[in-house]
Amino acid sequence: MAVYAVGDIQGCYKSLKKLLKIVDFNPEEDVLWCAGDMVNRGPDSLKVLRYLKSLGDACVCVLGNHDIQLLAYYAGGKSFSGDTLDVVLKAKDGEALIDWLRHKPLLHHDKGLGWSMVHAGLSPLWSLKKAKKRARNVEEILQSDDWGSFCKALQNKGFATQDPEDKHVRLFFNTAVFTRTRFCSDLGLFDWQQKTSAAKDKHVQPWFEHKNAKWKKDGKKKTRVVFGHWAAKGLVAGHPYVLGLDTGCVWGGQLTLARLEKKKPPALFSLSCT
């Protein structure tokens, strides 16, 4: 069995299928990890959702900010410039797809493989255990009857820049960390505005570069994290703790797939999306 992880698909169905064909992906034997942002901006969000859902247990997805935007829009929230989500709302199986999507996690961890996956990032102040708990807290809301109002509220929130004391506000902060993180300080102060590849503020770094980040050790074992979200940063490979796979397919870049190994470096496969 092979475990493959793919970066932000964002509705690029044809590119996904071509890339999976290159590696001879077999859902009866292999597993596909999707690092969030499965939908939006690209041409075929509906086809992507239908395909991933059809894979059943052969597909593991975490939610990204664009996936949550779809949930919010479906629940009656705002649409933003560049969104390509109407086709999902109009689909006969739209409700079933939304129900499938909102039951996806924010963090996935495979203890045996030694890899975890989030869409954007983690706080340097979180151990892996704490991150799992924070993810579950948000997932409980998304899987409850209050999911719609929560997702719509996310559209209107200016996210706290550091861990708030208020438990309700913390749910929004946690969601932002998992789905929007790029830069933060070693003290867990987040900059939600910068989207460039390198920090303009010397006080922040990419979330995974802080040497003493608590999530980097799971007991005595090293934690390795697959993430997406950061097209400006592009492929992050050869790093001891992370593998960044957002190579900007929807922007005319590439879609990148990695075969995850327990002990070996990931094997990488990329396909131009132009």
The pLDDT value recorded for residue 156 is: 82
The pLDDT value recorded for residue 219 is: 73
pTM: 0.97
pLDDT in tens, 33-90: 999 999 999 999 999 999 999 999 999 999 999 999 999 999 999 999 999 999 999 9
Which residues of the chain are under the pLDDT cut of 70? 274
Q: Print the SS3 string covering the chain.
A: CCEEEECCCCCCHHHHHHHHHHCCCCCCCCEEEECCCCCCCCCCHHHHHHHHHHCHHHEEECCCHHHHHHHHHHCCCCCCCCCCCHHHHHCCCHHHHHHHHHCCCCCEEECCCCEEECCCCCCCCCCHHHHHHHHHHHHHHHCCCCHHHHHHHHCCCCCCCCCCCCHHHHHHHHHHHHHHCCEECCCCCEECCCCCCCCCCCCCEECCCCCCCHHHEECCEECEEEECCCCCCCCECCCCCEEECCCEHHHCCEEEEEEECCCCCCEEEEEECC
| CATH of the structural domain 3-272, one choice from 3.20.20.70, 1.10.4160.10, 3.60.21.10, 3.10.20.30 | 3.60.21.10
The pLDDT value recorded for residue 230 is: 96
